[in-house]
């Protein structure tokens, strides 16, 4: 298991996933793609966004969150959502933590949004959300800041 685990639950936009794969390669995180993808991993857009970083990142496709929990029964999972009240900066990241992000158009299902480990990135009131790859970068590099690479 890597120092950090990024989880994309049902990602929809190949360019975002490619950018996030590149980010994972640069910060030493594993990338878990969970559930139904809105694109093929062989998409030219996914490949182009990830550039030549694909060989440097461990990408694991998992059927469901339940399967991921089975794979890591002692794992700590944080769920990033615009609907949480607590900030991501309250997290004290540990090696092996999982940071879960939802699909671009609808976010995470309610069962994760209402979890005690749901967190948010602050934004100006009235704005819908940040771009997924930007959100992953913000939170991943907070974990890196706290623990190093």
Q: How far apart are CA 35 and CA 20, in angstroms?
A: 17
Choose among 4, 46, 1, 48: nearest CA to 25. 4
Which backbone phi and psi does 3 adopt, to 5 degrees? -60, -30
pLDDT at 50: 53
Q: How confident is the model at residue 148 (pLDDT cuts 50, 70, 90)?
A: confident
Closest CA to 132 of 21, 47, 40, 27: 21
Homologous superfamily (CATH) for 4-147: SPOUT methyltransferase, trefoil knot domain (3.40.1280.10)
List phi, psi (to 5°) of 33.
-105, 115
pLDDT tens profile 70-119: 999 999 999 999 999 999 999 999 999 999 999 999 999 999 999 999 99
In terms of phi and psi (left: phi > 0; alpha: psi -120 to 50; beta: otherwise), the region of 107 is: left
Residues 121 and 116: their CA atoms lie apart, in Å, by 16
Q: Per-residue confidence at 47, pLDDT binned at 50, 70, 90?
A: low
Name the residue with tokens 């158009």.
105
The ranges assigned to domains in the chain are 4-147
Average pLDDT of every residue of the chain: 91
């Amino acid at each position: 298991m890597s120092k950090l685990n990024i989880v994309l639950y049902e990602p929809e936009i190949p360019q975002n996933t490619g950018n996030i794969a590149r980010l994972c390669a640069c910060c030493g995180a594993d990338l878990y793609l969970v559930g139904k993808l809105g694109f093929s991993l062989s998409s030219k857009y996914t490949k182009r966004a990830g550039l030549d970083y694909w060989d440097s990142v461990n990408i694991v496709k998992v059927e469901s969150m339940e399967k991921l929990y089975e794979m890591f029964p002692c794992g700590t999972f944080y769920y990033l959502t615009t609907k949480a009240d607590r900030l991501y900066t309250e997290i004290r990241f540990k090696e092996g933590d999982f940071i879960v992000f939802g699909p671009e158009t609808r976010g995470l299902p309610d069962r994760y949004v209402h979890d005690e480990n749901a967190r948010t990135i602050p934004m100006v009131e009235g704005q819908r959300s940040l771009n997924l790859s930007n959100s992953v970068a913000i939170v991943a590099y907070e974990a890196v800041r706290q623990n190093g690479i």
